[in-house]
Amino acid sequence: MRSAVRFTLPPELEAGAPPEARGLRRDHVRLLLLDRATGAVSHHRFHELPRLLGPGDLLVVNDSRTLPASLLGRTAAGVQLEIRLAARAGERWAALPLGVPTDGRDPALVPTDARPPAPPLPPGERLSFAGGLAATVLGRHEEAAPLVWLAFDADGERLAEALHRAGRPVRYAYVPQPWPLHHYQTLFAASPGSAEMASAGRPFTLQTLRSLRERGIALATISLHAGLSTYGDPATDRRFVPAEPYQVPAAAAAAVAACRAGGGRVVAVGTTVVRALETAAGDDGGVAAGAGVTRLRIGPGHRLRAVGGLLTGLHEPEASHLDLLGAFVDRAALERAYDAALAAGYLWHEFGDVCLVLPAPGRRA
């Protein structure tokens, strides 16, 4: 279900370009601090993050690398379409097929619900993309009606190279011009696999990491390959929880244990990290190292076991990500925080500003 938190997002508050293109360093985007205990909010810049945390705290980031997951191609009959890769499952890929405007407009600037329908894609349909990349449609997705299963002709490194020749980052209509893939990567990007950027980590810079280290704040990495944020169908967006692969290294599990033992706060950088850590957490809050797949849906009423704080972007009205924030603060506090962000002109989406939800020092939850 969609979040009960509802508001109107003015178009001028949708970040349409990276902060660097707006004359800002990555670490100078705005940061809204929300106190979990009191609901109080205060306004900062991201480079102030080290002083908002304390010695002994731990930041856990997602090192998944963003794929060029949007592919423009054609069916065997020559009908144009866009394919957005959603997730990999073994040798198969779940993908969202979309129609392409026939008047020459950039497809990314036309909302999916305003496009012509995608062409029929029966099992066995062959799709061709730029650079000689080709795929076969295997059939419809069993749980998400808008998705299909694809098998590419290439695999491994050959597929990775072909995707980088043929693909581009997934882009939505609020971003009016294309940006190179490196704008959709975080400082931590290592393991390729996400359809969309783990954007809560985007504001981090080397200067930020140095300041965090000097302050005695630890950092650990996990991997979770994130799928698409929307599937173009309200019913699917409300109900479908994709199966997302994750890996918690032994070093990250040990860092969580050390932080908790020392009375520090475990702060997840992004909702993907919350899902991975809470999936791997036991009742005592300890996190098990290892790989797995998570379909965990977190919302109000979920008892957080491993994570005490959250650094996240600002989410769209009624987005399911706001449900996850409901595990940290109640609806009234979340509404006050978003009202404050709107009034102060914060920017939304992957190139926008961020929010830090944090318990008081010495409190893990």
Each residue's pLDDT tens digit, 181-206:
999 999 999 989 999 999 999 999 99
CATH superfamily of 11-66+181-358: QueA-like (3.40.1780.10)
Q: Which residue has the higher pLDDT, 318 or 24?
A: 24
What CA–CA distance (Å, rounded) separates 244 from 88? Answer: 9
Judged by average pLDDT, the poorest of 179-193, 260-274, 317-331, 337-351 is: 317-331
- Within 10 A of 271 (CB to CB), how many other CB atoms are there? 25
Does the pLDDT at position 74 exceed 90? Answer: yes
**Structure tokens, 126:** 């062959």
What CA–CA distance (Å, rounded) separates 211 from 219? Answer: 12
37 CA to centre of own chain: 26
Q: What is the pLDDT of residue 162?
A: 93
Does the pLDDT at position 236 exceed 90? Answer: no
Structure confidence at residue 4 as a pLDDT band (50, 70, 90): low
Domain assignments of the chain as residue spans, ordered by start: 11-66+181-358, 70-168
Segment 288-311 shows an average pLDDT of: 95
Judged by average pLDDT, the poorest of 120-129, 224-233, 346-355 is: 224-233
Residue pair 129/73 in contact (Cβ under 8 Å)? The answer is: yes
Q: What whole-number percentage of the chain has pLDDT above 90? A: 84
Q: What is the pLDDT of residue 156?
A: 85
Judged by average pLDDT, the poorest of 126-130, 159-163, 177-181 is: 159-163
Judged by average pLDDT, the poorest of 145-149, 207-211, 356-360 is: 356-360
Domain 11-66+181-358 identical in fold to domain 70-168: no
Structure confidence at residue 243 as a pLDDT band (50, 70, 90): confident
Q: What is the pLDDT of residue 240?
A: 83
Q: Which residues of 323-347 are buried (b: 16+ CB within 10 A; e: fewer)?
A: bbbbbbbeeebbbebbebbbeeebb
Question: Nearest 5°: phi and psi at 117?
Answer: -65, 150
Q: What is the pLDDT of residue 45?
A: 98
Segment 38-60 shows an average pLDDT of: 97
Q: Which residues pair with 256 in a beta bridge?
A: none
Q: Which residues pair with 35 in a beta bridge?
A: 358
State pTM to two decimals: 0.94
Q: What whole-number percentage of the chain has pLDDT above 70? A: 97
Name the residue with tokens 């997951």: 69
Q: What is the pLDDT of residue 273?
A: 98
- Within 10 A of 44 (CB to CB), how many other CB atoms are there? 15
Q: What is the pLDDT of residue 321?
A: 80
Residue pair 256/266 in contact (Cβ under 8 Å)? The answer is: yes
Judged by average pLDDT, the poorest of 167-176, 286-295, 319-328 is: 319-328
**Burial classification of residue 39, based on how many CB atoms lie within 10 Å of its CB (0-12 exposed, 13-18 middle, 19 or more buried):** middle
Does the pLDDT at position 91 exceed 60? Answer: yes
Q: What is the pLDDT of residue 363?
A: 59
**In this structure, which topology does domain 70-168 adopt according to CATH?**
Thrombin, subunit H (2.40.10)
Segment 87-93 shows an average pLDDT of: 91
Structure confidence at residue 1 as a pLDDT band (50, 70, 90): very low
What CA–CA distance (Å, rounded) separates 320 from 230? Answer: 10
Q: What is the pLDDT of residue 157?
A: 87
Does the pLDDT at position 47 exceed 60? Answer: yes
